């Protein structure tokens, strides 16, 4: 089934999960779309079965806390950053709830984590103003970049290049094989003093980059030329919350939650807003992602996850 403006307008909340006692700070769908995993400020990791629409199991990271959780290529392992004690990244086997490896190095909180879509490489960005390149098979950092400010970073869909957003005003593109030579492209944006960048994502076709901010707008840019194609606004974010923005899997639509619990959807080509979906969230929607394989998406606020499906399939 193809996503259209009308199809997007017909999504409804199918399930509400109240597994958490505190804010859900991140979630990630498995590459096959069969499960979604969430991390929360209550130190829990909850694994959900997307097809059955129910929680499968809960693990805890009470000592270190858990944030920015990401699936690796194996469906039963994840990496995540810590938000207590230290800033080490941890590689966890979900199957037996054991750590496979630690990745120490960052000296301040990790604010960006992106897994390569093709291999065991991942990158992390921290408030210590560095981006580090890692390999799941080694605890040692494979590459280190020093920046002028807070970074956001992400791999492109082919895993050949990564983008780094620096100081909320520049996007730099690096070739993974020769990133130590510096960026092969730098796009300078208009600096906005009212907010800072909180996320950066490529579309699945690799042609677009979505820049999230903690203000009242997000930007869509051309991944090759750096030109700003659209600036999307008109949603509530007065408290500078980090709201996750996402592409739909076909790269055609852009979605973001808001402070008042509504989800806003735009057509990436026309720039027009096509839907505002009300899932009755009680707080700001901090996490929002579309399932990579199935016609569902998930949104999360303070302590609840909602699963959305097309109303006709209920």
CA dist 268 and 103 (Å) reads 37
> Average pLDDT of the chain?
91
Is the pLDDT confidence value at 311 over 80?
no
Compare 201 and 193 and report the one with higher pLDDT: 201
- List, in order, residues 6 or more apart from 96 with CB less than 8 Å away: none
Is the pLDDT confidence value at 55 over 90?
no
Lowest-confidence range among 9-13, 35-39, 51-55, 272-276? 51-55
Nearest of 237, 216, 214, 245 to residue 283 by alpha carbon: 237
Is the pLDDT confidence value at 216 over 80?
yes
Hey, how many other C-beta atoms are within 10 angstroms of the C-beta on 185?
15
Q: What phi and psi values does residue 181 have, to the nearest 5 degrees?
A: -85, 0
Indicate left, alpha or beta for 308 from its phi (over 0: left) and psi (-120 to 50: alpha): beta
User: Sheet of 228-233: strands edge to edge?
Assistant: 197-202, 208-213, 217-222, 228-233
236-269: pLDDT as tens digits? 898 888 899 999 999 999 999 999 889 999 999 9
281-308: pLDDT as tens digits? 888 899 999 999 999 999 998 767 889 9
Dihedral in degrees, nearest 10, Cα atoms 245, 20, 282, 240: -50
CA dist 148 and 159 (Å) reads 25
Fold classification of 1-23+196-305 (topology level) = Methylamine Dehydrogenase; Chain H (2.130.10)
Residue 99 structure tokens: 């750590």
Residue 139 structure tokens: 């605890």
Write down the pLDDT at residue 312: 57
pTM of the complete model? 0.92
């Amino acid at each position: 089934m193809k996503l259209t403006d009308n199809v997007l307008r017909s999504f409804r909340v199918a399930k509400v999960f109240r597994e958490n006692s505190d804010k859900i700070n991140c979630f990630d769908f498995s590459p096959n779309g069969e499960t979604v995993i969430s991390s929360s400020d209550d130190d829990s990791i909850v694994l959900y079965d997307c097809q059955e629409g129910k929680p499968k199991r809960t693990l805890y990271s009470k000592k270190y806390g858990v944030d920015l959780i990401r699936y690796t290529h194996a469906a039963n392992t994840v990496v995540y950053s810590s938000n207590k004690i230290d800033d080490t990244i941890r590689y966890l086997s979900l199957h037996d709830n054991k750590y496979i490896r630690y990745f120490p190095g960052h000296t301040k909180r990790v604010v960006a984590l992106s897994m390569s879509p093709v291999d065991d490489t991942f990158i992390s960005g921290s408030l210590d103003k560095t981006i580090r390149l890692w390999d799941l098979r080694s605890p040692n950092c494979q590459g280190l970049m020093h920046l002028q400010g807070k970074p956001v970073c992400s791999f492109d869909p082919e895993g050949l290049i990564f983008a780094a957003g620096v100081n909320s005003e520049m996007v730099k593109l690096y070739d993974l094989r020769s990133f130590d030579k510096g960026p092969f492209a730098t796009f300078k944006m208009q600096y906005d003093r009212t907010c800072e960048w909180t996320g950066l994502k490529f579309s699945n076709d690799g042609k677009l980059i979505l820049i999230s901010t903690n203000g009242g707008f997000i930007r869509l840019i051309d991944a090759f030329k750096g030109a700003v194609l659209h600036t999307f606004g008109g949603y509530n974010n007065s408290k500078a919350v980090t709201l996750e923005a996402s592409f739909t899997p076909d790269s055609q639509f852009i979605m973001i939650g808001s402070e008042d619990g509504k989800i806003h959807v735009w057509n990436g080509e026309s720039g027009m807003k096509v839907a505002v979906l009300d899932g009755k969230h009680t707080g700001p929607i901090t996490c929002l992602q579309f399932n990579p394989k199935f016609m569902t998406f998930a949104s999360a606020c303070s302590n609840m996850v909602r699963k959305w499906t097309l109303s006709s399939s209920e």
